[in-house]
Copies of this chain bind each other. A is one copy, B any other.
Amino acid sequence: MYIPTIDDMKAAHARAKPYIHRTPVLTSGYLNELAGCEMFFKCENFQKAGAFKVRGASNAVFGLTDEQAKRGVATHSSGNHALSLSYAAGRRGIPCHVVMPRTAPQAKKDAVRGYGGIITECEPSTTSREEVFAKVHAETGADFVHPYNDPRVVAGQGTCSRELLEQMDDLGGALDAVIAPIGGGGMISGTCLTLSNLAPNVKIYAAEPEQADDAARSFKAGHIIADDAPVTVADGLKVPLKDLTWHFVSNHVTDILTASETEIVDAMRITWQRMKLVMEPSSAVPLATILKNKETFAGKRVGVIITGGNVDLSKLPWMEN
């Protein structure tokens, strides 16, 4: 297993820069007062293809040799990685094959096709997804870009925290902590890679739905625990840790906090209402856990990664009864 280095992150940033946004960092006096800490929201919902995943995907796609690139790229993803890889492949002019659960939001399927991605559907379980993917991969010979268990992807996701650190120079200086959602652990691993090297005093927290808390249980147990097909509104966070992301989580994360479905939806709604940001349920999990663990963050300066904004606007979670 190759562990990406801080130089890999820097190379990823140079490679991906033409294809990604330097997303803004926003604040809210109202939410700071509510939480009892000072939060700096890194808005990856404004990122190309609507999510941070385009960072890792662009690094992988533009790092291929011309020979490799000809056969295209392939992946399985619950949504944003599929969008992002399709976007990056489109920018390079190569095919992108995507295995996707048939239950994924229609808006995400439409968007993948809009970016030129070629979808093969599977059942909504990790087992089915891996089976169907093996077939597609064998048939196309495309380069497999795993949504998170890939050093190129982790190095790419690490560029987000690097920007955040740079942007804090104009926002009153150093952070005490950074918190991001955890599903498979790609964003958290990139965050660990960057912060452990460039700002080792910043504590790293991961935030997870109670109903998909395999990472929190893994963290306590000291080894990877994987659930098949958990059910949560935070549909980007259903996948389990893998060996590469477990390396970063077990070595650099301070704690993994969890929140209930209601707490996640409430945090999502209050962010839409007060910050005027369209963000997806997964992105609300960090705020939900901060509001639930106020003593942990009291008076601290906390970077909060808003991971994406791809939601089906005709099915908002506070509308469902």
Chain A residues within CB distance 8 Å of chain B:
24, 26, 45-46, 50, 107, 269, 272-273, 275-279, 309, 313-314, 316, 318-319
* A28 closest partner in B (C-beta): B46
* A280 closest partner in B (C-beta): B276
Number of copies: 2
Some 25 contacts from A to B, beta carbons below 8 A apart, are: A24-B24, A26-B46, A45-B276, A46-B275, A46-B276, A50-B276, A107-B273, A269-B313, A272-B278, A272-B313, A273-B278, A273-B313, A276-B277, A276-B278, A276-B279, A276-B309, A277-B277, A277-B278, A278-B278, A313-B316, A313-B318, A314-B318, A314-B319, A316-B316, A319-B319
Taking CB atoms, residues of chain B closer than 8 Å to A273 are 107, 278, 313
Q: How far is the CA of A272 from the CA of B312 in the complex (A)?
A: 10
Taking CB atoms, residues of chain B closer than 8 Å to A272 are 278, 313
Shortest C-beta distance, A159 to chain B (Å), equals: 20
Shortest C-beta distance, A156 to chain B (Å), equals: 21
Shortest C-beta distance, A58 to chain B (Å), equals: 15
Taking CB atoms, residues of chain B closer than 8 Å to A316 are 313, 316
Taking CB atoms, residues of chain B closer than 8 Å to A275 are 46
Taking CB atoms, residues of chain B closer than 8 Å to A313 are 269, 272-273, 316, 318
Q: How far is the CA of A318 from the CA of B316 in the complex (A)?
A: 12
* A306 closest partner in B (C-beta): B276
* A270 closest partner in B (C-beta): B313
Taking CB atoms, residues of chain B closer than 8 Å to A26 are 46
10 shortest interchain CB distances as A-B pairs: A276-B309, A276-B278, A45-B276, A272-B278, A46-B276, A272-B313, A278-B278, A273-B313, A24-B24, A269-B313
Shortest C-beta distance, A51 to chain B (Å), equals: 10
Taking CB atoms, residues of chain B closer than 8 Å to A46 are 26, 275-276
Taking CB atoms, residues of chain B closer than 8 Å to A269 are 313
Q: How far is the CA of A278 from the CA of B268 in the complex (A)?
A: 13
Shortest C-beta distance, A306 to chain B (Å), equals: 9
Q: How far is the CA of A26 from the CA of B45 in the complex (A)?
A: 13
Q: How far is the CA of A275 from the CA of B309 in the complex (A)?
A: 9
Q: How far is the CA of A24 from the CA of B107 in the complex (A)?
A: 27
Q: How far is the CA of A316 from the CA of B313 in the complex (A)?
A: 9
Q: How far is the CA of A273 from the CA of B46 in the complex (A)?
A: 11
Q: How far is the CA of A313 from the CA of B279 in the complex (A)?
A: 13
